[in-house]
């Protein structure tokens, strides 16, 4: 047993050394999921900006005008006020800050926006309303006061509770993040197993290893352990990217989730670690099965099929809701993460999914053994 | 000593009967040349002897111990090299020696001593820290031989070891094989180059269409077929034993 452990650790060490000799591979494994998640949140932020929230500005001619108009902006929180002419406004809007502008001229009000940068219907509506109000302001303070008196008072009532808002945010974040994270992990697993095992068979370096007295399963264990560690790293970096993306581009969502997690951050980390470990186990086993094929072409085909299965499994909760889904590894990721973020810790599904993952892994080992025997007939 | 009886290998995938009935006996302290034309089943036989392939039927014994009963230990005692087997290109010869030495459960001291001895002989000591992938074909082959002999095996199985090598490297490898024979090692050499067999082999086995058709000392090959030269004997054995139906089958296609 000790001898096998020693041999396996030697293979692990050598595989890492090999990877360190081509550091670009390691960098890709670590950087790509992180950047992918950052871009995902940046993209979500851009979509949200173009469809709902926006940044508006009113350009006044004098300080007196500015002082009065500023009082108007209380009812239009997306707008700020400053002194400037139409040329300054055009230049600012062209550079994306603000998204939309209103310029008070001597006898007119001009609205400025760039349709390539802004498609928010809310921004257009509010700017039109504000423009109308400003036109009464140009007629004089008295006319403006009459206009305001004739307008019914507007009150906004948000029907969503904090819990519903959290649900909505988690649906968007965990669901999409889970799917992309698993896809990135599965594609990494396939690329690495293709390179590390099937690639070795193609380069005819694998036979030299098989000829050693080291049992084949020890060699495979060492190689898959290294692949698994990299997959885990990829998943971990993806999670860090998610946190960074949320913090940078969805600060309110970040705060909402952080408030909800409250004192359970440690449990969330444990759960995340477990989920990543289960994914590592399953994708690792998957990698062994894939690498039983003698050509990288077939490994890639099998890998693509696997990625379809993984992405489908992670999306199942979007289509159907049954409690049994919480016990199925990968499928349960978004559900358990959501529950934990909502401060509802569930131990039984976690333990259940670990059990199922181990069972699936044993079955996969049996299957991969047969495949390996066939490939080495 | 290796004894092979009625060895057969059929590949299930493409239903090819690569080896039909091969019988060989290789003694310690001799160089045994396995001869045969291309596609005769030499490589498949060598891969079965070296544990890389499992025979469909038949017997392979190492010192009267069946291969399947003690595969792990037998692997400790053998070295297998073909010109198709490669080593990891990112590693240097020193790192490769370290890697494979550990897999053969050698101590650090044993690895260093054996590595220095072999690298010195094959002239790769000065290139010990250069990546394997940057080497020429000859250097790669010499490194591969040194690495596969690192654990000081009793049995050396070489499948066309000098193919594609320049005359100097060929000579170096041949000299080393003679040295190994003098140390009492059991050496099996698969080749289709008659000249190489004539220079080195004590005994030859000829395989035609997956069947053993001759086994005996090299010196008896010509006389056993009532011809004057080894080449004539080889051609006669081939003509007498080549299965006509294979050719007819191919023509029909």
pLDDT at B246 over 60: no
Q: Would you state the pLDDT for residue A157?
A: 61
The HSE-up count of residue B178 (CA atoms within 13 Å, CB side) is 10
pLDDT single digits (tens) A2-40: 666 777 888 888 888 887 877 777 777 778 888 888 888
Q: Based on the domain organization, do A100 and A210 belong to the same domain?
A: no
B19 located within any domain: no
Q: What is the mean pLDDT of residues A31-50?
A: 80
Q: Would you state the pLDDT for residue A46?
A: 73
CATH label of the domain that carries residue A64: 3.40.190
**Which distant-in-sequence residues (6+ apart) come within 8 Å of A217 by Cβ?**
none
Q: Would you state the pLDDT for residue B252?
A: 40
Partner-chain contact B85 A207, CB within 8 Å: yes
Q: Would you state the pLDDT for residue B249?
A: 40
A157 located within any domain: no
Q: What is the mean pLDDT of residues A175-203?
A: 75
**DSSP 3-state assignment of A213?**
coil
A59 located within any domain: yes
Higher pLDDT, A265 or A128: A128
Read off the pLDDT band of A376 (50, 70, 90). Answer: low
Q: Least CA distance to B76: which residue of chain A?
A: A213
Partner-chain contact B12 A377, CB within 8 Å: yes
**Closest by Cβ to A210, choosing from B52, B72, B78:** B52
B51 located within any domain: no
**DSSP 3-state assignment of A80?**
strand
Read off the pLDDT band of B129 (50, 70, 90). Answer: very high
pLDDT at B116 over 90: yes
Which has the minimum average pLDDT: A289-303, B43-57, B218-232? Answer: A289-303
Number of other residues whose CB lies within 10 A of the CB of residue A100 = 24
d(CA A329, CA A284): 14
Q: What is the mean pLDDT of residues B104-132?
A: 92
pLDDT single digits (tens) B144-157: 889 989 999 999 99
Q: Based on the domain organization, do A126 and A183 belong to the same domain?
A: no
Spell out which residues of chain B touch residue A200, defining contact as CB-CB under 8 Å.
88
Indicate the number of domains in chain B.
1
Tell how strand A100-104 and strand A109-113 pair up. antiparallel
Q: Would you state the pLDDT for residue B167?
A: 87
* Minimal C-alpha gap between A201 and chain B (Å): 10
**Closest by Cβ to A211, choosing from B52, B73, B91:** B52
Of A360, A188, A190, the C-alpha closest to A281 is: A360
Q: Would you state the pLDDT for residue A374?
A: 62
Where does a domain end: A122, A150, A178? A150
CATH label of the domain that carries residue B93: 3.40.50.300
Q: Least CA distance to A19: which residue of chain B?
A: B90
Q: Based on the domain organization, do A242 and A353 belong to the same domain?
A: yes
Q: Least CA distance to A10: which residue of chain B?
A: B102
Q: Based on the domain organization, do A195 and A251 belong to the same domain?
A: yes
**Which distant-in-sequence residues (6+ apart) come within 8 Å of A199 by Cβ?**
A296
Q: Would you state the pLDDT for residue B188?
A: 94
Q: Least CA distance to B80: which residue of chain A?
A: A211
Q: Would you state the pLDDT for residue B248?
A: 38
Which has the minimum average pLDDT: A161-175, A324-338, B226-240? Answer: A161-175
Higher pLDDT, A118 or A355: A355
Interface test with B, best of A17, A20, A212, A217 (most B CBs within 10 A): A212
Interface test with B, best of A8, A14, A22, A295 (most B CBs within 10 A): A14
Q: Would you state the pLDDT for residue B111?
A: 94
Partner-chain contact B75 A213, CB within 8 Å: yes
pLDDT single digits (tens) A194-251: 777 777 777 777 778 888 888 877 888 888 888 888 888 888 888 888 889 888 888 8
- The answer to whether B106 touches B170, Cβ cutoff 8 Å, is no
Which has the minimum average pLDDT: A192-206, B86-100, B182-196? Answer: A192-206
Going B142 to B148 to B150 to B155, the CA torsion angle's sign is: negative
Q: Would you state the pLDDT for residue A2?
A: 65
pLDDT at B253 over 50: no
A294 located within any domain: yes
Q: Based on the domain organization, do A22 and A67 belong to the same domain?
A: no
DSSP A109-173: EEEEE-TTT---HHHHHHHHHHHHHHHHHHH-HHHHHHHHHHSPPP-------HHHHHHHHHHHH
pLDDT single digits (tens) A96-151: 888 888 888 877 888 888 776 665 667 778 888 888 888 877 777 777 777 777 76
Q: What CA–CA distances, in Å, run from A276 to A21, A33, A237, A329?
A: 26, 14, 11, 10
| Mean pLDDT over the full length of chain B | 87
Q: Would you state the pLDDT for residue B247?
A: 41
Q: Would you state the pLDDT for residue B110?
A: 94
A155 located within any domain: no
Q: Based on the domain organization, do A241 and A328 belong to the same domain?
A: yes
Partner-chain contact A17 B87, CB within 8 Å: no
pLDDT at A339 over 70: yes
- The answer to whether B17 touches B10, Cβ cutoff 8 Å, is yes
Residue A60, H or E segment: strand A56-60
- The answer to whether A81 touches A60, Cβ cutoff 8 Å, is yes
Spell out which residues of chain B touch residue A203, defining contact as CB-CB under 8 Å.
86, 89
ipTM of this complex: 0.79
Q: Which domain holds residue A309?
A: 2-46+162-375
B180 located within any domain: yes
**Which distant-in-sequence residues (6+ apart) come within 8 Å of A225 by Cβ?**
A8, A12, A284
Q: Would you state the pLDDT for residue A256?
A: 83
- The answer to whether B196 touches B162, Cβ cutoff 8 Å, is yes
pLDDT at A52 over 70: no
Range 181-220 of A in CB contact (< 8 A) with B: 200, 203-205, 207-215
Q: Following CA atoms B229, B234, B240, B245 in sequence, which dihedral angle do they give, to the nearest 10 degrees?
A: -150
DSSP A12-54: HHHHHHHHHHSHHHHHHHHHHHHHHHHHHHHHHHHHHHHHS--
Q: Based on the domain organization, do A129 and A251 belong to the same domain?
A: no
Q: Would you state the pLDDT for residue A349?
A: 87
Q: Based on the domain organization, do A338 and A284 belong to the same domain?
A: yes
pLDDT at A318 over 80: no
B154 located within any domain: yes
Q: Would you state the pLDDT for residue B37?
A: 87
Q: What CA–CA distances, in Å, run from A33 to A65, A185, A186, B18?
A: 51, 8, 12, 48
Within its chain, how far is the Cα of B241 from the centroid?
Answer: 23
Q: Based on the domain organization, do A37 and A65 belong to the same domain?
A: no
Q: Based on the domain organization, do A260 and A289 belong to the same domain?
A: yes
DSSP chain B: -EEEEEEEEEETTTTEEEEEEEEEEE-TT-EEEEE--TTSSHHHHHHHHTTSS--SEEEEEETTEEGGGSHHHHHHHEEEEETT----TTS-HHHHHHHHHHHTT--HHHHHHHHHHHHHHHT-GGGTTS-GGGS-HHHHHHHHHHHHTTT--SEEEEESTTTT--HHHHHHHHHHHHHHHHTT-EEEEEES-HHHHHHH-SEEEEEETTEEEEEEEHHHHHHHTT-SSHHHHHHHHHHHHS-HHHHHHHHH-
Of A179-183, B207-211, B222-226, give the range with the top mean pLDDT.
B207-211
B237 located within any domain: yes
d(CA A281, CA A369): 16
pLDDT at B19 over 80: yes
Q: What is the mean pLDDT of residues A328-334?
A: 83
B231 located within any domain: yes
Of A61, A56, A57, the C-alpha closest to A83 is: A61
B239 located within any domain: yes
Number of other residues whose CB lies within 10 A of the CB of residue B187 = 23
Of A211, A304, A259, A59, the C-alpha closest to B84 is: A211
Of A249-253, A331-335, B43-47, give the range with the top mean pLDDT.
B43-47
pLDDT single digits (tens) B50-75: 888 889 999 999 998 998 888 888 88
pLDDT single digits (tens) B162-178: 777 788 888 888 899 99
Q: Would you state the pLDDT for residue B207?
A: 92
Q: What is the mean pLDDT of residues B124-128?
A: 91
Of B197, B220, B189, B174, the C-alpha closest to B26 is: B189
Where does a domain end: A150, A172, A197? A150
Q: Based on the domain organization, do A60 and A87 belong to the same domain?
A: yes
Where does a domain end: A150, A181, A212? A150
**Closest by Cβ to B54, choosing from A208, A213, A377:** A377
Radius of gyration of chain B (CA): 19
Q: Which domain holds residue B81?
A: 2-14+28-41+71-252
Q: Based on the domain organization, do A146 and A213 belong to the same domain?
A: no
- The answer to whether B4 touches B160, Cβ cutoff 8 Å, is no
* Minimal C-alpha gap between A3 and chain B (Å): 9
**Closest by Cβ to B88, choosing from A3, A205, A374:** A205
* Sequence-separated contacts (24+) of B172-181 with Cβ below 8 Å: B172/B122, B172/B123, B172/B142, B173/B141, B173/B142, B173/B145, B174/B199, B174/B200, B176/B121, B176/B122, B176/B145, B177/B31, B178/B31, B180/B156, B181/B29, B181/B30, B181/B31
Indicate the number of domains in chain A.
2
* Minimal C-alpha gap between B83 and chain A (Å): 10
B205 located within any domain: yes
Q: What is the mean pLDDT of residues A321-335?
A: 83
């Amino acid at each position: 047993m000790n001898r096998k452990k020693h041999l396996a650790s030697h293979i692990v060490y050598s595989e890492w050394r090999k990877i360190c000799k081509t550091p670009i591979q390691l960098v890709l494994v670590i950087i790509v999921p992180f950047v992918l998640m950052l871009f995902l949140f940046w993209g979500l932020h851009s979509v949200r900006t173009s469809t709902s929230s926006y940044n508006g500005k009113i350009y006044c001619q004098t300080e007196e005008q500015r002082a009065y108009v500023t009082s108007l902006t209380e009812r239009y929180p997306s707008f700020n006020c400053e002194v400037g002419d139409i040329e300054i406004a055009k230049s600012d809007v062209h550079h994306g800050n603000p998204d939309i502008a209103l310029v008070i001229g001597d006898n007119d009000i001009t609205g400025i926006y760039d349709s390539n940068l802004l498609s928010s219907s809310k921004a257009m509506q509010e700017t039109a309303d504000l423009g109308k109000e400003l036109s009464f302001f140009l007629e004089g303070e008295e006319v403006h006061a009459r206009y305001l008196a004739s307008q019914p008072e507007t009150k906004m009532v948000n029907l969503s509770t904090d819990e519903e808002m959290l649900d909505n945010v988690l649906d968007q974040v965990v669901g999409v993040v889970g799917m992309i994270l698993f896809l990135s992990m599965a594609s990494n697993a396939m690329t690495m197993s293709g390179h590390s095992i099937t690639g070795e068979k193609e380069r005819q370096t694998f036979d030299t290893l098989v000829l050693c007295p080291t049992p084949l399963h020890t060699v495979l264990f060492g190689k898959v352990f290294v692949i698994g560690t990299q997959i885990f790293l990829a998943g971990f970096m993806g999670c860090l990217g998610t946190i960074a993306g949320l913090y940078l581009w969805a600060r309110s969502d970040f705060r909402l989730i952080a408030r909800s997690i409250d004192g359970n951050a440690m449990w969330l980390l444990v759960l995340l670690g477990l989920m990543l470990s289960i994914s590592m186990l399953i994708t690792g086993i998957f990698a062994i099965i894939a690498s039983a094929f003698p050509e990288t072409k077939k490994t890639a085909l099998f890998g693509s099929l696997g990625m379809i299965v993984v992405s489908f499994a992670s999306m199942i909760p979007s289509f159907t809701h049954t409690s049994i889904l919480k016990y199925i590894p990968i499928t349960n990721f978004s559900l358990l993460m959501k529950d934990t973020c909502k401060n509802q810790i569930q131990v039984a599904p976690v333990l259940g999914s670990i059990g199922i993952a181990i069972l699936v892994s044993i079955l996969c080992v049996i299957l991969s053994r047969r495949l390996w025997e066939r490939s080495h007939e | 000593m290796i004894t092979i009886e009625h060895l057969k290998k059929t590949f299930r995938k493409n239903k090819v009967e690569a080896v039909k009935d091969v019988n060989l006996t290789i003694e310690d302290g001799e160089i045994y040349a396995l001869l045969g034309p291309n596609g005769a089943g030499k490589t498949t036989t060598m891969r079965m002897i070296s544990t890389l392939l499992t025979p469909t039927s038949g017997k392979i014994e190492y010192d009267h111990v069946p291969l399947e009963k003690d595969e792990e230990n037998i692997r400790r005692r053998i070295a297998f090299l073909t010109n198709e087997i490669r080593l990891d290109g990112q590693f240097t010869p020193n790192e490769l020696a370290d890697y494979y030495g550990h897999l053969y459960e050698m101590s650090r001291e044993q690895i260093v001593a054996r590595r220095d001895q072999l690298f010195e002989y094959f002239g790769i000591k000065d290139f010990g820290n250069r990546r394997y992938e940057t080497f020429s074909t000859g250097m790669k082959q010499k490194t591969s031989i040194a690495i596969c002999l690192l654990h000081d095996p009793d049995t050396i199985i070489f499948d066309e070891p000098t193919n594609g090598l320049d005359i100097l490297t060929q000579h170096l490898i041949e000299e080393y094989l003679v040295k190994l024979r003098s140390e009492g090692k059991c050496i099996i050499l698969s080749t289709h180059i008659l000249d190489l067999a004539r220079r080195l082999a004590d005994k030859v086995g000829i395989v035609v269409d997956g069947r053993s058709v001759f086994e005996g000392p090299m010196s008896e090959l010509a006389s056993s077929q009532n011809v004057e030269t080894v080449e004539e004997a080889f051609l006669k054995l081939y003509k007498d034993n080549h299965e006509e139906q294979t050719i007819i089958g191919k023509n029909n296609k």
